Amino acid sequence: MNPWVRLAWVLSLTGIPLVLLLGVLFPFERSYYFVAFAVILLAIVPFFAAFEGRKPAAREVVIIAVMTAIAVTGRAAFFMVPQFKPGVAVVILAGVGLGRESGFVVGALTGFVSNFIFGHGPWTPWQMFAYGLIGFLAGVFFSRGAAERNGLGRGSRSYKPWIIGYGTVATFVIYGLLVDTASVMMWASEFTWPAIFAIYLSGVPFNALHAFASAVFLTLLSTLIVEKLTRLKTRYGMFQPR
Amino acid sequence: MVRNSDAFGSLHPVVVFGYFVLVVGVSVVFLHPLILTVSFVGALAYAFYLVRWAGLRKLLPGLMLLMVIAALFNPVFNHRGVTTLFYWEDNPITLEAVVYGWVAALMVGSVLLWFVSYNQVMTSDKFLCVFGHVVPALSLTFAMVLRFVPRYLAQAKRIAAAQRGIGRDVASGNWYARARHGAAVLSIMLTWALENAVDTSDSMLARGYGLPGRSAYNDFRWRERDLMGALALGGGLLVVIVASVAGVLRAEYFPAIELNPAVPLAWLVIGVWALVCFAPLLLGLKEEVTWRSFRSNS
Amino acid sequence: MALIQVEQLSFAFPNTEQDVLHAVSFELAAGEFALLIGQSGCGKTTLLKHLKTALTPYGTRSGAVRFDGRPLGEVPQAEQARRIGFVLQNPDNQIVTDKVWHELAFGLESLGTPSDVIRRRVAEMASFFGIGDWYHRNVDTLSGGQKQLLNLAAVMTMQPDLLLLDEPTAQLDPIAAVDFLAATKRINDEIGTTVLVTEHRLETAFPLADRVLTLNDGRLVADEPPRTVGLALVHESDPMVAALPAAVRLSLALDAPDSVRTSPECAVAPPRPAECPVSIREGRAYLARKLDHAHLIAEPGHRLGFPESKDVENAVKARSATEVGDADGAEPIISARDLWFRYSRGDDDVLRGVDLTVRQGEFACLVGGNGSGKTTTLRVLSGLHKPYRGKVRLLGLDPTKAKGMELTRAGLAVLPQDPQTLFMRNTIGDDLDDVATTHFPEKEERAAMVASAAAAAEITELLERHPYDVSGGEQQRAALALALLTRPKLLLLDEPTKGMDAFFKAKLAGVLRRLIDQGLSILMVSHDVEFAAEHASRCLLFFDGVVVTEGVPREFFSGNSFYTTAANRMSRGLVSGAITVSDLVERIQALPAECTSPESVPATQRDAGEPVPEPASQKPETTTGAAS
């Protein structure tokens, strides 16, 4: 592992508990806001450092940019009700097709760049981390073995239902929870459980619709997208297992 | 936003970015009514200067709503405080919580307004200038995404039109039919994007991407004016932060409201903070005055 | 010493038997401007990519490439990146970043150049190319021509010694293409950069080149200066002869051994020349000499060619044909009256009173400059945009009111400019099946329709291929097959010949002509004047939002003086009414009778034996020999 990447992991893994500890030991006005913010940023650091550290090849950079741009376009251009977007589905399939590290980068960049269209705010790092984590976990669960070599597997060994299931849950739990936490930070200037609960509860309909959209788009897109990424890997020798 | 049309925005991106981070940070952390009032008014004035009434009109109703929610949210869920105003469903609504709610509303409002200006001033190329040296590969990927997104949005329209041309209607049908057509458009676009990306990577390779020791060029130069700006704004912010941490400006809401006495030093700090918050606007106005004088002289 | 030397280079892609390149050898001296020509798929791109290791494809290879005296493989990557510049075909695909200035700096960033040096180099190149005005713009606001110029400038900031250009103008409109090639020539002249360029636009490129290398099926068949390469190719009976510039083709047809007329009384043909004319100007001089030789322009005012009466005759014929249609009471397949359109309220009008009629069985071609509103017209006609004034009837419907797929059911199919906006699946066959599913629920019917559409578009042998693994011309025909699945009566085509070489154009023309014979009507929008002249039954010139003039190609193009075919420009004032090289050849080869006493032969008699060019069935060039 590249020394810088190792340093980033050390920074992240010691930094996060340290920040939490400091937050508990020396509480000041709204210290939790700082703590949460710092934790999110520190959590993003090692993933980005890993991407920098492996000095990505031209084709890798291009494919990650393409997948990110597709996800952002999906978030920006696509139809109908606000929460009914294919963004998460594309991020997940990028994770499945390109592996966990690229999955994180595609996700985090999607969150970041799409806010140049929707507007940046204190929620930006939270969205970045949420998208990134979803892409990363998709890579962890599905990019090994059959999915990596032969697309989504065949017949009873197909990964597709699992991917759809994962996408639905991840959108609701990971994205919903993290982005609603950003709202908690904004609204609840004092932490009280009923207040937090009220905010999460108010987010449930949106998150449910969002999760449903992910399920629909994963159903429609998963085979097609993974096939395409597989063709690219075989034809142009990209993303060979290192 | 036209490039460099705004005096503050024409400072070096590092200065601009640092300014926004610190001003928003101070506004979020130190919940002092005066700090927040000044910050709110400063943010509103600068946002108005940048996007004018036409831009603000779209944002203000939402902003107001969010602020009202924030103001009501706290007294409903927060029952600390010694001065009970009344009971609502057996829960005490306290004066302290109501005041705190309004302070929180100011915080929410000023943060959102600062981001209005941030989104105008801190364009993507400035962001790249700040982070290009720190994370070169990510910055390049980021620039490429910015290049692809408008291209893909245009291509999505072309694909939808092309689908119509061969008898596949993209825009009609029930929600599922439309989602399916949307997925088809996305899928056609992905094929197109991935296949053409091979050219893009060839073009990068042809121009030496991947050689060791890549440098990060940006079109912004560090001038004396940037140094002066950085020192002035940084110094001002440092004064406010140190004063707040040291307790010159103190605000306690619970159990009882307790603001620091109106000592001259505190007013001085507020004055410095006001200068910092209004600096972008003042810079802009100063330049407009200069232009006016040019025009009247000629 | 030669800058680049290629010795006995052979190459095959992995898992294939066929060599893409076969024992290719040539040298380029520093400062040369060389043109590499050949049919699509002859290995031009592969050869070019062998001159830069970063782009060299995987496969089995033999032979050697030497750069500046050293084997290319031993030249360090950084040196290659700097000294060998490469510009690809598609202007959009090669741009990496979102800002013009960043794109210009990209190569120098890769080399690790310090910022102040980058600033200077970028400024120099921006000034050289006149980029100053759009230096700060986002790249997506640039036109195609500006984008390609940016790609060239972005390579030139590294100050390369060798510039490799792979069909750089294929995706550009004619004016941008001429500008781009002129910029390339300027680099060659003023900076001394060696240039190797592959091109299909030989009309523009030939006069610029010092040398023309010709590839046929991976073999280098000719390596000659432009003035003599034509003769060499005729000698080799290479198919590229048909794609050469008009002036070259004219002189070859008249003078080359196999086409020199054998009749002893012919006094016209001088001995075979050592050189061919390559530009319009030289072609005119050549033609004038030829006619002078026959004492034909001794008298001022005397002109050779179809007399005016013939043009009038043609025009009358075309008109009466349409009138007959009207007499039958048949409604024109498209009729547009006084169309006005703008994209949004505050914008300028794009269409400013368009009147246009297309009749059953016509192959109408809308030509005109960039941004004149041709494509917008197509969109308005197909109901994609609504005009704010004026009326359209198309296949008996009003497109502005047609709902859902009504127009498709009535028989309208629209082919997009970019066929890649249609492909989704992993094979062309799957894509055809997919589209067929929406129109034909029955399985057998669907299979039959797919087969017949594929046959009509001549892509049957491509059905198993991935749509992106076939060439641009084949993609265009695959897209045509997709459109044919709707069983159209009317086909709208937007710039279908873009980026195609002469052979794919001929093939497409054949496909379209057969469709018209089966009763299809076509309205095509195109920059491609030569294609329109040769194949359309009627041309309409679009300018500034209106149809300025229209007519059958001969009448139409001989009425224009600049916006016309190369053959017409070459013969303007010398031979009237000739719009293709075969017209000219035909006219001049008919000379001997005229040499003796031009005035004595009545025009009508002279023309009697010639086939009257009929709409939609213009004779292709290869058959003209029979006419004389």
Is residue A224 less than 8 Å (CB to CB) from chain C? yes
Is residue C108 less than 8 Å (CB to CB) from chain B? yes
Residues B245 and B111 in one domain: yes
- Closest approach of C165 to chain B, Cα-based (Å): 12
Selection from A197-201, C154-158, C298-302 with the highest mean pLDDT: C154-158
Distance between CA A240 and CA B130 in Å, rounded?
Answer: 33
Give A79-125 as a DSSP string: -SSTT--SHHHHHHHHHHHH-HHHHHHHHHHHHHHHHHHH---TTHH
Average pLDDT, chain B: 86
Query: How does DSSP classify residue C400?
Result: T
Residue pLDDT, tens place only, C72-93: 999 999 999 999 999 999 999 9
User: What order do you get walking across the sheet with C389-394 strand by strand?
Assistant: C351-358, C334-341, C389-394
Residues of B in contact with A86 (CB under 8 A): 182-183, 186
Report, in this order, helix, strand and coil percent for chain B, each rounded to 5. Answer: 70, 5, 25
Distance between CA A47 and CA A125 in Å, rounded?
Answer: 14
Q: Is residue C80 within a helix (H) or strand (E), and if so which, with residue range?
A: helix C77-83
Residues B190 and B239 in one domain: no
B229 domain residue, yes or no: yes
C569 close to C579: Cβ distance less than 8 angstroms: no
Residues B75 and B146 in one domain: no
pLDDT at position C258 over 80? no
B197/A122 Cβ within 8 A:
no
Q: What per-residue confidence (pLDDT) applies to C295?
A: 56
pLDDT at position C131 over 80? yes
B186/A70 Cβ within 8 A:
yes
Q: What per-residue confidence (pLDDT) applies to A80?
A: 57
Residues B41 and B95 in one domain: yes
Residues B72 and B119 in one domain: yes
Q: What per-residue confidence (pLDDT) applies to C31?
A: 93
Tokens of C27: 């040298």
Residue type, A182: A
A231/C424 Cβ within 8 A:
no
Give residue ranges of C with CB < 8 Å to any A CB: 58, 424, 426, 466
Q: What per-residue confidence (pLDDT) applies to C50?
A: 94
- Give me the percent of chain B exceeding a pLDDT of 90: 36
C625 close to C586: Cβ distance less than 8 angstroms: no
Tokens of B276: 């910092």
Q: What per-residue confidence (pLDDT) applies to C618?
A: 40
| C90 or C302, which is more confident | C90
Residue C105: band (very low, low, confident or very high) from pLDDT cuts 50, 70, 90 = very high
Residues of B in contact with C113 (CB under 8 A): 215, 217
B283 domain residue, yes or no: no
C340 close to C349: Cβ distance less than 8 angstroms: yes
Selection from B53-62, B149-158, C566-575 with the highest mean pLDDT: B149-158
C466/A224 Cβ within 8 A:
no
Residue C296: band (very low, low, confident or very high) from pLDDT cuts 50, 70, 90 = low
Mean pLDDT on C299-323: 46
pLDDT at position C269 over 80? no
Distance between CA B138 and CA C577 in Å, rounded?
Answer: 61
Residue pLDDT, tens place only, C501-517: 889 999 999 999 999 99
Residue type, A92: I
Is residue A79 less than 8 Å (CB to CB) from chain B? yes
Q: What per-residue confidence (pLDDT) applies to A155?
A: 43
Give B159-215 as a DSSP string: HHHHHHHTT--SS-S-HHHHHHHHHHHHHHHHHHHHHHHHHHHHHHHHTTTT-SS--
Give C426-451 as a DSSP string: SSHHHHHHHHHHHH--SHHHHHHHHH
B121 domain residue, yes or no: yes
Domain count, chain B: 2
Three-state SS for B113? helix
The answer, yes or no, to whether the previous bond of C488 is cis (omega within 30 of 0) is no
Residue C313: band (very low, low, confident or very high) from pLDDT cuts 50, 70, 90 = very low
Residue C403: band (very low, low, confident or very high) from pLDDT cuts 50, 70, 90 = confident
Distance between CA A106 and CA C32 in Å, rounded?
Answer: 45
Where are the alpha helices (H) located in A26-57, listed in sequence order? 31-53
pLDDT at position C152 over 50? yes
Residues 129-188 (B) with a CB less than 8 A from some CB of C = 140, 143-144, 146-147, 150-151, 154-155, 158-159, 161-169, 172, 184, 187-188
- CA C608 centroid distance within chain: 34
B3 domain residue, yes or no: no
Is residue C74 less than 8 Å (CB to CB) from chain B? no
Residue pLDDT, tens place only, B189-245: 999 999 899 899 999 999 999 898 888 888 888 899 999 999 999 999 999 888 888
B29 domain residue, yes or no: yes
Residue type, C519: G
Residue pLDDT, tens place only, A69-106: 999 998 877 655 667 888 999 999 999 888 888 999 99
pLDDT at position C59 over 70? yes
| C613 or A87, which is more confident | A87
Instruction: List CB contacts of B179: < 8 A, sequence separation 6 or more.
Output: A79, A80, A84, A216, A217, A220
> Which neighbouring-strand residues pair with B252?
B258
Instruction: List CB contacts of A109: < 8 A, sequence separation 6 or more.
Output: A64, A68, A128, B138, B141, B142, B145
Residue pLDDT, tens place only, B90-147: 888 888 888 888 888 998 899 999 999 998 898 888 888 898 888 889 999 999 999 9
Residues B32 and B120 in one domain: yes
Among chain C residues, the shortest Cα distance to A237 is held by C58
**Angle between the N-to-C axes of helices C144-156 and C100-110, in degrees from 0 to 180, rounded to the nearest 10:** 30
pLDDT at position C265 over 60? no
Distance between CA B44 and CA B69 in Å, rounded?
Answer: 19
Residues B248 and B174 in one domain: no
| C614 or C185, which is more confident | C185
B36 domain residue, yes or no: yes
B213 close to B6: Cβ distance less than 8 angstroms: no
Residues B65 and B83 in one domain: yes
pLDDT at position B296 over 50? yes
Residues of B in contact with C482 (CB under 8 A): 166
B187/A68 Cβ within 8 A:
no
Residue pLDDT, tens place only, C516-527: 999 899 999 998
B82 domain residue, yes or no: yes
Residues B110 and B92 in one domain: yes
B277 domain residue, yes or no: no
Tokens of C538: 């009627």
Distance between CA C258 and CA C231 in Å, rounded?
Answer: 11
Q: What per-residue confidence (pLDDT) applies to C450?
A: 92
- Closest approach of B203 to chain C, Cα-based (Å): 5
Mean pLDDT on C170-198: 93
Distance between CA C297 and CA C304 in Å, rounded?
Answer: 9
Residues B117 and B229 in one domain: yes
Residues B39 and B143 in one domain: no
Q: How many CB pairs under 8 A join B and C?
A: 183
pLDDT at position C328 over 70? no
Residues B49 and B155 in one domain: no
Q: Which domains does chain C carry? A: 2-228 (3.40.50.300), 245-310+578-627 (no CATH), 325-559 (3.40.50.300)
Distance between CA B244 and CA B265 in Å, rounded?
Answer: 11
Residue in B124, B199, B212 closest to C94 by CB: B199
Residue C329: band (very low, low, confident or very high) from pLDDT cuts 50, 70, 90 = low
Mean pLDDT on C113-131: 92
Among chain A residues, the shortest Cα distance to B252 is held by A29
Average pLDDT, chain C: 83
A58 close to B207: Cβ distance less than 8 angstroms: no
Query: How does DSSP classify residue C75?
Result: S
Tokens of B100: 């705190």
Q: How far is CA C16 from CA B83, C67, C91, in A?
A: 87, 28, 30
Which parts of chain A register pLDDT below 70? 1, 27-30, 78-82, 144-157, 187-191, 236-242
Look up the pTM and report it.
0.86
Q: What per-residue confidence (pLDDT) applies to C616?
A: 40
Three-state SS for C194? strand
Query: Taking Cα atoms as reference points, which of B135, B213, B209, B142 lies closest to residue A48?
Result: B135
Interface test with B, best of C77, C82, C89, C97 (most B CBs within 10 A): C97
Among chain C residues, the shortest Cα distance to A221 is held by C424
The alpha carbon dihedral of C466, C472, C476, C477 has a sign of: negative
**Structural domain containing residue B247:** 13-128+222-269
Among chain A residues, the shortest Cα distance to B125 is held by A116
Is residue C112 less than 8 Å (CB to CB) from chain B? yes
Q: Comparing A233-237, C147-151, C271-275, which segment has the lowest mean pLDDT?
A: C271-275
